[in-house]
Structure 1
Amino acid sequence: MKNVSTLITCFSLLLFMGCKEKRVATPMDLAKENLIPKPVGMVATGSSFLLSSESVIYTDQEFRAQAQTLAAELKEITGINIGIAENEDESKSEGIILSKKTTNDDLKEEGYELNIEEDVMTISSNHPSGIFNAIQTIKQLLPTTIDSNKIEIASGKIIDYPNYEYRGAMLDVSRHFFSVDDVKQYIDYLAMFKMNVLHLHLSDDQGWRIEIKSWPKLAEIGGKTEVGGTEGGYYTQEDYKEIVQYAADRFITIIPEIDMPGHTNAALASYPELNCDGKSPEPYTGMKVGFSSFCVDKEITYKFIDDVVRELAAISPGKYFHIGGDESHATKKADYVIFVDKVQDIVSKHGKTMVGWDEVVTANIKSSSIAQFWASEDNAKTAVEKNVKLIMSPAKKAYLDMKYDSITKLGLKWAGYVEVDTGYDWNPAAYVEGITKENILGIEAPLWTETVTNMNELQFLVFPRLPGYAEIGWTQDSLRSWGEYKTRLASFKNRFEKMNINYYKSSKVDW
C-alpha cells in the first residue's frame, strides 16, 4: 500500500505541480571560454546554466528593448524561442533576469555583471548599453554548432567594463561607395566586439556621399564617381538617418566627416564658386592626394560649410563632427589656420564638438576639440600641450587598409605592413613619448577604401584585425598579451566561417 500511495502522490504532483526532476548540470569551465574583448574579471564555478524553450527572460520596462534583442539573438543562433515576462521582484528561481542592481561603481554606463548559476542567469548594468554589451558576451559563450534545443552555458561570474570611452572604426565610403546594407553589416561587426563608434568618411576628391538639400549638386555631380572610374553613389538624408538609427539601436554613435579644406575635388567639381578661379575641375577617380583646396578667402566657402554642417549636424545625434583637415598641401599654411579656426566656430555653432586629423592642432583649436593622431607624433604632442584629447589611430599600427605582408593583394603599404600581431601588440598610452592615458579619448581603426570595392574585400582587410582593436579599446592594458590573445582569436575560426566572413588566415595565428 505504501508504494501505491507514493505513486499516487507523485502522479498528483505531476498533474498539479509539474513535479519536474532536478536537472543534473554538466560540469563546465567558464575560465576556458574564449572571449573577445577579454573581460576585466571572470570566476568559474564549474557548473552550467541550461537554455531551453522553457527559459524566460525577466525584465523591467527600461531594459525591455534589450530583452527583445537577447530573445531575437538567441532565436537566430540557437533556434530556441525564449519568452519575455515582467520582472516585478527580481526573486525568480530560474530564467534570465535583466537587473539594474549592480555592486561595482566602475561599470558606469557600458559595463555589466554577468552571474551565471545553474538555474538563473542574471545580467546587471546601470544602463541599457551595458546590458547590450553583456548580450555580446553571452553570444560568444554559446557553442558555434547547435544540434539540440537545449544549450548549456558555463557557470560563473563576469565583471566587465571598458578601458576607453571611445572605441571606434572608420569606413571610407568616398573612395568606393558602400550601400546602406553594407554599412549596417559593418555596424554589426563593430557591435559584436563592443565597439561604440563608426566614423563615416563622407567626402573626398573621388566622391561626395551625403545629400545636402541646400546644395543638391554635391550628390548629383559629386556622388557619381569613385576610384577607378566606376559608378559611385550617395546617401539620401533618409538613408543616413536609417544608418544612424541602426547604429544607435546597437549603442554605436555615427560620426560624420566632411574632409576640408583639402580632399575636396568632388565638391569643387559640383560648385565652381568654391574655387578661387570660379571654374569646376574635372571629376577625379585616381588615388593621388593633396592637390585640391577650397578657396579659403571667399565668403561663399563658409556659407557652404555652414549649410553642410547645419544639415548634417541636425541628423547626427552624436556630439562630434569631423572636419578632416589632413593633407591640405594645396592650402597655404596661414590660410589653413584661418580656415580651421572659422570652421571650428561653425561646428560649435551647430552644437557639435570638432574632431580633426592631427594636422588641425597647428591651428588655434580649443581644448574642447579632439585631434585624431594618425601620422605626426609632433602634432600629437602639440595636442597634449594645448590640453586637447587624442583619438589614437597611428597608421603604422591601426590602419585596416595596410597590407598584411608583401604578398597581400589588397591594401596599401605606405605606412608599412600591419600583420595581426602588429595591429594588436601596442599600447595607445605608451605609443608616443609623453602621451599618457589621461590624454587619450580612445582608439579608432580606419579603413580607407582605395583598393576595397566590395564587402568580400572589406572583410579580408578587417578580419581578423578588428577584434584586436576592439580589445585594445575595451580590455585593461595589464590583461592583454599577444601570446594569450592569439589563442582566443584562433577559436573564432568557426564563428567567422559560420558568418561567411572572408578572413585573412594569418600565419601568426594557429587556426
Structure 2
Amino acid sequence: MGLWVLGPPGLAGFAAADDPPATERAVTDIVPAPVQARPDPAANFTLTADSVIRAEYQAHDVADYLGDLLRPATGFAIPVVDRYDTSKPGITLQLGDADQQLGSEGYQLTVAKDGITLQANTTDGLFEGVQSLRQLFPSAIGKSSVQQQDWTVSGGTVFDYPRFARRGAMLDVARHFFGPDQVKRYIDQIAQYKINTLHLHLTDDQGWRIEIKSWPQLTEIGGKTAVDGDPGGFYTQDQYTDIVNYAASRHITVVPEVDMPGHTNAAQASYGELNCDGKPVPPRTDIDVGYSSLCISSPTTYKFVEDVIRELAALTPGPYLDIGGDEAKSTSAADYSAFYAKVMPLVSEYGKQIQGWHNIVEANPPVSAVPEYWDTSRTNADVAAAAARGNKILMAPADKAYLDMKYTPDDPLGLHWAGYVEVKDAYDWDPATVLQGVPESSVAGVEAPLWSETLRTSADIEYQAFPRLAGIAEIGWSPAATHNWDDYRKRLAAQGPIWTAQGINFYRSPQVDWK
C-alpha cells in the first residue's frame, strides 16, 4: 500500500511505496557551501535501528563522535563496528586513499540507498565531513530526547575541501568570564561549521582568567573582577588543559592570548611591581581602552612576561601563542618596539609561533608570526608591507567579522563602534580583497572575534554569534566562486530548524526567510 503525504490545505496526495521519503535539506544546502555537490533524490538513505557505523581503529574517535550525535534523538544503538563488517547497513568512515586534492581537511561524501560512505585522507577530513553529513539529517537529530520519526538522509555526492587553512572564532572571557562548560558548549557549536581554531582572549584590563602558578595573585586579585562589577572567575591550569583537550576532540586548536603591553590593568592591579612606581593600580570594571601599559623599562616586566609565556606554552599543544599588541595607546612607539624586541624571542624560545593583533607589525615580527587584522580601514601600509615580507595575515575586519557588533540600533546586546553589522554585512566580503596590498596568497584565513563587554550568558554568546558565525565560516571554507548572498540566505534559512532543535539562541534576521 502507498504512503499518505500531505498536500495543500484540504487536499491529500498519494505517493507510491518506492518513492523516496522527503528530506529537509539536499547536499546543495550545506553550510559552508561545498566545492562540489550533486544531489540525487533517488539515493536517499534511511537510518534504522539496525544501522551501524563502520570504521577502522584510527577513525574510532570520529565514529564515536558521530554515534554520540545520532543516538539521543533516534534511540538507536548504532554500534561502531569493524570497517569491513558489511553485515548491516549504515555509515562507513574510510580513512586514507582519498583524492589528494582533498588535502588534510577535505572529504568525499556519498549518500546512497544502501548506505553512506565518508572518505578522507585524515581524521580531520572525516570530522569535517561529519559536519556536512549531520546537516542532511532531519533537524530533530539535534534533540536530546528520543523522537519518533523517520531518519532519512538526502542522497547525493559531495567533494569538498577548504579555501583557507585557518577558520577561527575568538571568545573574550576577560571582560566577562565564561566557565569551562560554557566554552565547551561554544566549541561544539562552532565545530558544526568547520571552524578549526578557538582563540581565547584570556586577559584584559577587567580580568585575568588563567592560573599562572609563579604569579598567583594574577587570579587571586585580577581574576575577581569583570565589566560592570559582575562576578569574575578564572581557569585553573587543569581546567584550561581540559578545555584544550575538549577542543582537540572536536578537531579545534586553541590559541591562548595574553594581551600586552596594554590591556594589562588586571595584572597591574595584582602586582605593584608591574608599574613603574611600584604601586598596584585600582581595579577597573569599565570598558575604556588604551590607558594601561606595563612598565617597559623594568626588568621585572620581562620576568613576568617570560613566566607567563613559559607556563602557558607548556599547557598549549597548538603551535601559536597570542601576545596581543593592540590599542597600546599609553606606550610610546619607541617603548612598544623595545618591549616586543625582548618579548618576541621568548615565544620561540618556548616552542611557539607568534600570533597577535595587526599592530605588532610595527615591531617587525618574524615572518612566521600571524598578525590579525581587526581595523575597519581598507588600507594599512604596515600590514601590506608585512604581507610582502612573507607574514600570513589573519582577516577579522571589525565591521564585517566582529560578532559583538550590534545587528541594528535596537539590539539590547553588543557595541557599535565599528557600525551595525547585519547578516548580509557579515557575509558580503572577501578576505583576498578586503585589505589593499594583501592578496589571497598572503591570507592565513579568517576569524570571527566575539568580545564580551555586554555578554553574560551562553544565550548572549549564541545570539551574537548566530547566524553571523556561519557566514564567516563559509567565507573561510568555501570557494570564492560559490559566494552569493541570494543563494546563501536560502541555505542559511534551512539552518534555523537545526539551531532550534539544538536549543541555540539565534537572531532571526529579517534579511532571511527562516524556515
- Tell me the CA shift for residue 34 of structure 1: 2.2
- Tell me the CA shift for residue 93 of structure 1: 7.9
Question: Are 2:196 and 1:196 equivalent residues in the alignment?
Answer: yes
Report if aligned partners of 2:319, 2:353 keep a CA contact under 8 Å in 1.
yes
Alignment partner for residue 141 of structure 1, among 136, 143, 150? 136
What secondary structure is seen at the aligned counterpart in 1 of 2:109? strand
Taking the aligned partners of 1:445 and 1:77, their CA distance within structure 2 comes to 31
- Indicate the residue corresponding to 1:14 in structure 2: none
- Indicate the residue corresponding to 1:124 in structure 2: 119
- Tell me the CA shift for residue 152 of structure 1: 1.7
Taking the aligned partners of 2:339 and 2:512, their CA distance within structure 1 comes to 47
Deviations 1:176-199 (A, max 9, x none): 000111100110111111100110
- Tell me the CA shift for residue 446 of structure 1: 0.4
Alignment partner for residue 439 of structure 1, among 434, 439, 442? 442
Question: Are 2:495 and 1:492 equivalent residues in the alignment?
Answer: yes
What secondary structure is seen at the aligned counterpart in 2 of 1:199? strand
Taking the aligned partners of 2:314 and 2:486, their CA distance within structure 1 comes to 46
Question: Are 2:504 and 1:501 equivalent residues in the alignment?
Answer: yes
What secondary structure is seen at the aligned counterpart in 2 of 1:287? coil
Question: Are 2:36 and 1:26 equivalent residues in the alignment?
Answer: no
- Indicate the residue corresponding to 2:287 in structure 1: 287
Alignment partner for residue 403 of structure 1, among 396, 402, 406? 406
How many residues are aligned here? 488
Question: Are 2:99 and 1:104 equivalent residues in the alignment?
Answer: yes
Report if aligned partners of 1:79, 1:149 keep a CA contact under 8 Å in 2.
no
- Indicate the residue corresponding to 1:367 in structure 2: 367
- Tell me the CA shift for residue 32 of structure 1: 6.4
Taking the aligned partners of 1:240 and 1:368, their CA distance within structure 2 comes to 26
Taking the aligned partners of 1:385 and 1:446, their CA distance within structure 2 comes to 25
- Indicate the residue corresponding to 1:74 in structure 2: 70
- Tell me the CA shift for residue 500 of structure 1: 2.1
Task: Give ranges in structure 2 of 5+ residues lacking alignment.
Answer: 1-16, 142-146
Measured at CA, do residues 423 and 322 of structure 1 come closer, stay the same or move farther in structure 2, by a change above 3 Å? same
Report if aligned partners of 1:272, 1:278 keep a CA contact under 8 Å in 2.
yes
For 1:204-283, list aligned pairs within 5 A: 204-283=204-283
Deviations 1:332-359 (A, max 9, x none): 1101001112111000100000111111
Question: Are 2:337 and 1:337 equivalent residues in the alignment?
Answer: yes
1:364 partner letter: N
Question: Are 2:396 and 1:393 equivalent residues in the alignment?
Answer: yes
2:59 partner letter: F
Report if aligned partners of 1:53, 1:150 keep a CA contact under 8 Å in 2.
no
- Tell me the CA shift for residue 380 of structure 1: 2.4
Q: Alignment RMSD, CA only?
A: 1.7
Q: Which moved more, 1:128-137 or 1:345-354?
A: 128-137
Measured at CA, do residues 32 and 294 of structure 1 come closer, stay the same or move farther in structure 2, by a change above 3 Å? closer
1:323 partner letter: I
Taking the aligned partners of 1:78 and 1:38, their CA distance within structure 2 comes to 27
Q: Which moved more, 1:31-40 or 1:277-286?
A: 31-40
Alignment partner for residue 48 of structure 2, among 43, 49, 52? 52
Taking the aligned partners of 2:19 and 2:323, their CA distance within structure 1 comes to 56
Report if aligned partners of 1:115, 1:157 keep a CA contact under 8 Å in 2.
yes
Q: Which moved more, 1:99-108 or 1:181-190?
A: 99-108
- Larger Rg computed on CA atoms: 1
Structure 1 stretches of 4+ with a deviation exceeding 3 A read 27-33, 90-94, 145-150
Report if aligned partners of 1:58, 1:95 keep a CA contact under 8 Å in 2.
yes
Deviations 1:105-162 (A, max 9, x none): 1211111111111112111011111111111111110112465464221221111111
- Indicate the residue corresponding to 1:86 in structure 2: 82
2:483 partner letter: R
What secondary structure is seen at the aligned counterpart in 2 of 1:260? coil
Taking the aligned partners of 2:251 and 2:57, their CA distance within structure 1 comes to 18
Report if aligned partners of 2:161, 2:477 keep a CA contact under 8 Å in 1.
yes
1:419 partner letter: E
Alignment partner for residue 382 of structure 1, among 381, 385, 391? 385
Deviations 1:424-466 (A, max 9, x none): 0110001112211110000001011111111121111111111
Taking the aligned partners of 1:326 and 1:36, their CA distance within structure 2 comes to 32
Report if aligned partners of 1:93, 1:120 keep a CA contact under 8 Å in 2.
no
TM-score (norm 1): 0.92
2:322 partner letter: H
Taking the aligned partners of 1:323 and 1:270, their CA distance within structure 2 comes to 19
Alignment partner for residue 475 of structure 1, among 475, 478, 485? 478
- Tell me the CA shift for residue 77 of structure 1: 3.5
Q: Work out the percentage of aligned pairs sharing the same amino acid.
A: 46
Question: Are 2:429 and 1:426 equivalent residues in the alignment?
Answer: yes
What secondary structure is seen at the aligned counterpart in 2 of 1:75? helix
What secondary structure is seen at the aligned counterpart in 2 of 1:383? helix
- Tell me the CA shift for residue 278 of structure 1: 0.5
Q: Which moved more, 1:107-116 or 1:197-206?
A: 107-116
- Indicate the residue corresponding to 2:162 in structure 1: 162
TM-score (norm 2): 0.92
What secondary structure is seen at the aligned counterpart in 1 of 2:461? helix
- Tell me the CA shift for residue 81 of structure 1: 1.7
- Tell me the CA shift for residue 92 of structure 1: 6.9
2:214 partner letter: S
Measured at CA, do residues 415 and 104 of structure 1 come closer, stay the same or move farther in structure 2, by a change above 3 Å? same
